[in-house]
Amino acid sequence: MRKSWWKILGVLLLVYTFIAGLLIEVPRNPQLEETIRNLFFHVCMWFGMMILFIVSFVRAIMYLRTNKHIHDIASRQYAGVGILFGVLGYLTGAIWMSYTWIDSNKSIFNSFDTIAREPKLIGAAIALLVYAAYLVLRDSIQDIDKRARISAVYNIFAFAMLFPSIWIIPRLLDSLHPGGSEGNPALDPGSASANMRLVFYPAIAGWTLIGVWIATLKIRMKIIHEQKLSQ
Amino acid sequence: MKKLIAIFTFIFLVFFANAQDVKMADIMKENGKIYVVIAVMLTILGGLVLYLIRLDRKISKLERNK
C-alpha cells in the first residue's frame, strides 16, 4: 500500500455516504419520493467521470510538454476509469428513469420514444463514444511514441467535445432531466436542501477518490508490465 | 374575519396533507428495516474495498521484487 491516507479518506467518505445517504431526511417530492437519494450515487458517477477526464486531459498535456512515458500511461488509465464511471452513470440513470419518467398511461417500451430524445442522454452518449473512440484509436497504433503523441492530441480534442456535449447543449434545451434550461438543482444552494448537500459533496469526493485509486492501481500495473516487456 | 381564518386553515391543511401524502419509505424507517439495506450495501462496499487493498498490496510486492 502506497500513500494510503487519501485511500482511507475515500473509503470513509463512501461509508458515510452509504449510511447518511439512506438515513437523512430528504425533501418530500411527489414525483421523486425516496429516489431522490440517487443523487448521492447516480449524479456522483458523472461528477467522478468529469474529474477523471480532466485529470486524463491534464496528463495528456503534460505528456506533450515533457515527452515522459508515464504521463501517457496515466492519461490512458484515467480515461479508462472515467469511461467506467460514465457507463455506470448511464446504467443507474436508466434504472432511475424507468421509475420516474415513464408515462403511466403507456408501457415502458412505448415511453421510450420520448426518453430517447432527451438532450442530456444524447449528449452523454456522444461524450462516452468520443472517449471510446480514444481507446480504439490508441490501441490500434503499434509504435509506442507515435501512439502516445497521437492519443494525447486526440485526448485534448475529446475533452473539448465534453463542453458542447455535456456542459452547454443539454443546459440550453428543455428536458425531463434536471439541470437543463432551468438551472442545476443539485448545485444550486436554493434548491437542494442543506441536508442533502451535507451528503452530496462528500459523496462526490468519496467516489472520485475510489476512481483515482483504481486508476493508480492500473497505472502501476501497466508500468510493471512494460518493464517486464523491455527486459 | 372568521371566514378568512377558516379559508386559510383550509388551505394550510390541504397543503400540509399534500406534503404528508408523498409516499416515502416511512414504514421502513419506523421498523428499522432500512438498517438491513445499509448493512447489505456496506458489506458489498467492504468486499470491494478489501479486493482493492489486496490488489494494491500485490502490486506493491511486484514493484519491490523487480
- Tens of pLDDT, residues A5-25: 999 999 999 999 999 999 998
Whether B64 maps to a domain, the answer reads yes
Decide if A81 is inside a domain: yes
Q: Which of B25, B49, B55 sits opposite A11 (nearest CB)?
A: B49
Is A215 a member of any domain?
yes
Q: What is the DSSP letter of A122?
A: H
Q: What Cα–Cα distance (Å) separates residue A133 from each residue in A151, A174, B58? A: 10, 29, 32
Residue B3 has pLDDT above 70, yes or no: no
Q: In the numeric block, which cell numbers belong to residue A23?
A: 438515513
Q: B6 lies in a domain?
A: no
Number of domains chain A is built from:
1
Minimal CA separation from B3 to chain A, in Å: 31
Contact A44, A203 (CB under 8 A): yes
Grid cell digits, residue B28 = 421502513
In 3D, which of A44, A33, A17 has the Cα closest to residue A198? A17
pLDDT of residue A231: 80
Q: What average pLDDT is seen over chain A?
A: 89
Contact assessment for residue A92 and residue A41, using Cβ atoms and an 8 Å cutoff = yes
Chain A residues with CB-CB distance to B50 below 8 A = none
Note the helical H segments in chain B.
2-21, 26-30, 34-65
Which residue is listed with cell 404528508? B20
Give chain B's contact residues with A (Cβ, < 8 Å): 18-25, 29, 34, 37-38, 41-42, 45, 49, 52-53, 55-57, 59-60, 62-63, 66
* Region B17-46 average pLDDT: 83
Residue A123 to residues A47, A158, A166, A204, Cα–Cα distance (Å): 15, 13, 5, 21
B38 is a domain residue: yes
Residue B42 · residue A15 · CB < 8 Å: yes
pLDDT value at residue A62: 97
Is B17 a domain residue?
no
Say which residues have a Cβ less than 8 Å from residue A127's Cβ, sequence separation at least 6.
A86, A161, A162, A165, A166
Distance from the Cα of residue A192 to its chain's centroid: 21
In a domain, A92, yes or no: yes
pLDDT value at position A190?
Answer: 62
CB contact (8 A) between residue A11 and residue B66: no
Facing A33 at nearest CB: one of B24, B42, B55: B24
Given a cut of 60, whether residue A69 has pLDDT beyond it is yes
Give the confidence band of A181 by pLDDT, cuts at 50, 70, 90: confident
Domain that holds residue A157: 42-230
> Residue A38: pLDDT above 80?
yes
Has residue B13 been placed in a domain? Answer: no
Residue A98 confidence class, pLDDT cut points 50, 70, 90:
confident
In this prediction, residue A192 has a pLDDT band, given cuts at 50, 70 and 90, of low
pLDDT, position A167: 87
Q: How far out from the chain centre does Cα B6 lie?
A: 39
How long, in residues, is chain A? 231
Do the domain assignments include residue A210?
Answer: yes
SS3 A178: coil
Query: Given this model, what pLDDT does residue A191 score?
Result: 63
Average pLDDT over residues A30-56: 92
Residue B8 placed within a domain: no
Locate A30 and state its grid cell: 411527489
The answer for A33, left when phi > 0, alpha when psi is -120 to 50, beta otherwise, is: left
Binned at pLDDT 50, 70 and 90, residue A110 comes out as: confident
Domain annotation covers residue B30: yes
Compare B33 and A183 and report the one with higher pLDDT: B33
* Percent of chain A's residues with pLDDT above 70: 96
The answer to whether residue B10 is domain-embedded is no
**Does A229 or A52 have the greater pLDDT score?**
A52
Over range A196-217, report the average pLDDT: 95
The count of domains in chain B is 1
Q: Which residue range is the domain that position B40 belongs to?
A: 22-66
Listed in sequence order, the residues at least 6 apart from A63 whose beta carbon sits closer than 8 Å to its beta carbon are A69, A71, A72, A75, A148, A149, A152
CB contact under 8 A, A22 and B53: no
Q: In the prediction, which pLDDT does A170 show? A: 86
